[in-house]
Every structure is written in structure tokens, then in C-alpha cells.
Structure 1
Amino acid sequence: MPHEYELDVVHADAFTDVPYGGNPATVILGADKLSRDTMHKISTEFNVRETVFVSDSDVADYRFRYMTPDREINFSGHATVAAFHALLSEGVAETTNQITMFTLETNTGVFEVEAVRDERSQVYEIQITHQPPQFLTTYDPKDYANALGLTLADIMAPKPVQTVSTGTPHLMIPVSTYRSLERIRPDWNALEEMRRDSDYVSIQVFSRDTREETSDAHARHFAPGLGVPEDPVSGSAAGGMASYMVRYGMMDSSNPVTSIVIEQGDFLGRPGKIYVEIRGNEDKIEQVKVSGKAVTVLRGKLYI
């Protein structure tokens, strides 16, 4: 049976420059003709955490739609990095300078994205401007300590357990040590029951205790409600997490811009790094930028 047409597919690992590290995403280029139902079938066929569909936009340079095998989600940081990596590496997006600006339409609004080219390696770092942070509901730390298999002493008091959103709401849970992160044993039923009555979509647990001296925090991300028990590296949560760190004095914000390096993925054997820039201070955060690199591990054709 003949196919109607074919599309370019790139599978890339985001927030890393090493294959099989970071967070994987499948990118479908030229997806303008695809229906939502077809997108869902394709994402189920590939069965990766996120498949991102790239098409033209009337209000921006590109429109991205993000699918998990279970549902459509409004935004994915690592899939956005992977998709812009694919657009650039496949020669679809044109760049004229070391820094090229793009606009991106998603279900949560229009974002500004910068592609910054390293002159030595010619590798692009993708930088996404998030929405200014919203600091939302606070929760009882004891409930979450129990659901994560930790003790109340593991939670970094008096910092709040709080939902923070820079576009997508995530619950921020600071813990005292890297060892606390190691000891997490989630009670998935308890976590999902609490999420149903909450204002967040997933949970970011983090510590200032890191594996590398040049990093500022180590994180783990849990999203069972999205069908992803643990996500290797979450870009959408990194913006809220870095904002939380500045807001509650976990970082020195005396300079106009605070740079924060986040490690993640080591507990899943997929280490990655996210770079966040916060403009402002603990009293007022004006701008949040999240950036990372990606590497192609597969390219091919999708037949429709």
C-alpha cells in the first residue's frame, strides 16, 4: 500500500552532549498536516517519554505540540531543546549570527528561544525564556516525606514545600543532602492521590549537595500522573526550581543575573545538566532562562 507522504524524524538526547545521556525525545519535522489523533498514534508507536511535533505557526516562527504515549501535554523543556537541535542540525532553521532568536508557539503561549553557537565546537546551546515565576500553594512536608520514603529530617526546614510555575506548575521539595536523594523510595499510590487534589503536575526533589563541585544543585523529578514515574532531566521544572532557590536564599542573588547549574539523571544512568539564568533577586524575579544542549542518536523517515 503506497504512503501518502513521508516526514523527517530525529531522535535526540537533550541536556547532554553525550549519546544516551540526558533525556530522550523524538522530533517529527514538518508535522503541519497531522491530526491530533495521528500524532497520538505516532507517539504511541515510538513509545518514548515525549514526542514533539514541529509545524509552522501564524503567530511565531514555529509551533510545537508535545505528546506522551498517554496524552498531549502543554510544554516540555527537554523536548523543546531536542526539537530546536533537530531544526538546526537538519538545516531547517537558518542562523546568521552566533546568537539567533526564535519565537515558539505552544499550548501555554509564545516563548522566546535563543540558539547560541559555540564558535569552537559549532554546537548550539538552546536557551528558552520561561514565564516569570508564580509561587503558589504550600503543603505539609511530613506528608511528602512519608510518600517519598524519607523522614521529616530529610526535608530542608524551614524552606517550604511549594508549587512554583514558570509556565508549568511543579512541586518543589528541598532536601538536606545527596544521600536523602539516594534514599527516596516513592509510594506511587500516595503521591498520585495527593497530586489529584493539588495545583501541580509533578514533583521536583532537590539538594544543594552535588556530585560535581561546579554544580549548584542535584535534582530528581517524579511525574507518575503523566505516565513517567521518574524523568531523567526536566527542563520545565528547572526554571521553577532555580526561581525557588533564589526566592528562598539558597543562592547568592546580589548580582543582576544568578547562574545556576543543575545536575540530574544520574539515578537513572542518564546524567545531564541544565543551565538556568535568573535575572532579579529574592524580592523580585524578572526573567528566567533555561538552556541546554542536545545530541542526535537517530535520524530517519516516518511514512504516513
Structure 2
Amino acid sequence: MHNLPLYQVDAFTNRLFGGNPAAVVPVPEFPSKKLMQQIATENNLSETAFVVIRGKGKFDIRWFTPTTEVRLCGHATLAAAHVLYRSGGNDLDKLRFKTREAGTIVVAPAEGEGNYRLDFTVDKPKKTRSSKKLRGALAGLKPVEVYEGKDDLVAVLKNQEQVESLVPNFHVIARLKRRGLIVTAPGKEVDFVSRCFFPAYGIDEDPVTGSAHTLLTPLWAKRLGKKELTARQLSRRGGELRCELRGKKVRLTGQAITFLAGQILLDRL
């Protein structure tokens, strides 16, 4: 079996050791799902993206956490685009990533050094009721409102301090029958802040979650009456995003920086 290139990129940040680290593995064709999962488990990052070149500016992409394949991942798509542009794709106006379940994601350079913009299909939030289990997940905290999207549950809290100080119950979150739980509130220096928890997918707290903002952007656009918003994810590493609601699309803008480049040595398999 051939060795594979491996890149590790910090996404939604302009500095090393910030944002959300993702592995990017360009492949001529997707390996078996078993092997991709083994590689993602070995990488032990929140996401590993596998990318196949299909034509000029056209790619297939799949994402794996340490435990499972996911429907959509924003930060690993940003990481993949960063690798492709830095590896000789500077002549490409746009990159189109075809996914299995989330449509086609379009990525292009944005205004400002090292910025990229990503266009995703909007995840429309639907208001729902709180529950005893959700309050248990929030360590007894009562949310102001609760919404659900295609993958996640969103609890809107009163203020940024509640988001920052929350010590969630990961065991209960893992039993919510959703990909995970997002908590969010108005921000002090940005329009909104959030934290994201996905213990059922092997990630207790994700540093910066692009896919969550396809749900948070329309939610806060409606609450604040504006279509262009600034966001900060309040994980230990932290991350910054510019979000824009564009009809049925959400545009996220952020930066990325490469941490390492190497090889996955599979020749002994």
C-alpha cells in the first residue's frame, strides 16, 4: 500500500496553537472506510479530512472524528482548502468540495491576507422545548430558548458569562440522541459567542466548529436583525469567525495556518 501525505492545519485562526486543528489527507481515491477511520483514530484530532481531486477546482471530501464519519465539517474543509491553495492551487478562483450528504461547499480566497470564505447550505433552526435531560446536560442551568438543527441541539443562554463558566455533563450530552449540544449567547465584543460539545462523537468540546455556525448564523441573524455577524467560540484554544446569511447559504470567513506536513507510512500494511 502506498504512503499518503498528511497535513495538520490550525483552522479559524491566524496563529499556531490556536483555532481548531484538523488533519488533511489528499488521496487518489478514497481508501476503505475502515482504513480512513483507523487513520482518523490514530490522528486523534476532532476531524481528519480525506480529499480526492476530480478535476480543476473540483474535489470530493469526507470527514472523520476519532470515532465516526460525520455529515459536515467546516473547519476541516477550511484546512483542506488552505492546503490545496498553498500546494499550487493559487491559480484557482474557487474550490468546489462535493460531499456525500451536505451538498457542494464552495471555498475561495477572501479579502485580507490569508482569509478564505466558505459557502455552506443554511441549517434552519427550529424552536423546540427544553427538557429535564437537557437541563441535566447544562448542569441545571435553564436555557432562554432551545432550537434544533439537522445535527445538533442549541441552548441559548442569558449571557456570555454563562457560556464561559458552564461545566456541562458530557455523559448526559452523549445521550441526547443528537450529534451534540451547542450553547450560545450574545457576545460582549462580538455579536454572539458559543461552545460546542460532541461527546457521542468522541469530542467532549470542539475548539472551533464551522458546521455549528451554519445553524447559529440564521438564529442570530433573526434575533439581532442583521445578516453580517461576528462570532467567537469560547473554547480553550478559541476561534474567530465572520458569518453572513446569504439567502439559503451561510458564508463563513476565517484564516488557517499549517502546523506540519509529513507522510502516513502505510507500506507495512
Q: TM-score, normalised by structure 1?
A: 0.80
Q: Does 1:243 align with 2:221?
A: no
Paired residue total:
266
Q: Does 1:103 align with 2:96?
A: yes
Q: Deviations over 1:133-189 (max 9, x none)?
A: 33336121664233212432xx33xxx301124xxx221211111211133121222
What SS class does the counterpart of residue 56 from structure 1 fall into? strand
Q: 1:209 is matched with which residue? A: 187
Q: Does 1:264 align with 2:233?
A: yes
Percent identical pairs in the alignment equals 26
Q: Does 1:185 align with 2:167?
A: yes
CA contact (8 A) 2:192 2:220 kept: no
User: Structure 2 vs 1, CA of residues 132 and 183 (structure 1 numbering), >3 Å: closer, same or farther?
Assistant: closer
2:87 to 70, 85, 90: 90
Q: Does 1:18 align with 2:18?
A: no
What SS class does the counterpart of residue 79 from structure 2 fall into? helix
Stretch deviating more after TM superposition (29-38 or 47-56): 29-38
**Distance apart, 1:117 and its partner CA:** 4.7
**Distance apart, 1:9 and its partner CA:** 1.3
**Distance apart, 1:37 and its partner CA:** 1.8
**Distance apart, 1:6 and its partner CA:** 2.7
What SS class does the counterpart of residue 212 from structure 2 fall into? helix
The structure with more radius of gyration: 1
Q: Does 1:228 align with 2:207?
A: no
Q: Deviations over 1:96-125 (max 9, x none)?
A: 5xxx22221112143241322546x3x2x2
**Alignment partners' CA distance in 1, 2:111 and 2:230:** 18
CA contact (8 A) 2:102 2:121 kept: no
Q: Deviations over 1:51-77 (max 9, x none)?
A: 11111348x810111111211112211
* Matched residue type, 1:291: T
CA contact (8 A) 1:150 1:180 kept: no
**Alignment partners' CA distance in 1, 2:167 and 2:102:** 35
**Alignment partners' CA distance in 2, 1:43 and 1:26:** 8
Q: TM-score, normalised by structure 2?
A: 0.90
Q: 1:51 is matched with which residue? A: 48
**Alignment partners' CA distance in 1, 2:147 and 2:102:** 24
Runs of 4+ in 1 over 6 A off after TM superposition: none
* Matched residue type, 1:186: P
Instruction: Give me the CA root mean square deviation.
Output: 2.2
Q: 2:124 is matched with which residue? A: 134
User: Structure 2 vs 1, CA of residues 33 and 76 (structure 1 numbering), >3 Å: closer, same or farther?
Assistant: closer
**Alignment partners' CA distance in 1, 2:8 and 2:211:** 19
CA contact (8 A) 2:98 2:105 kept: no
Q: Which runs of 5+ in 2 are unaligned?
A: none
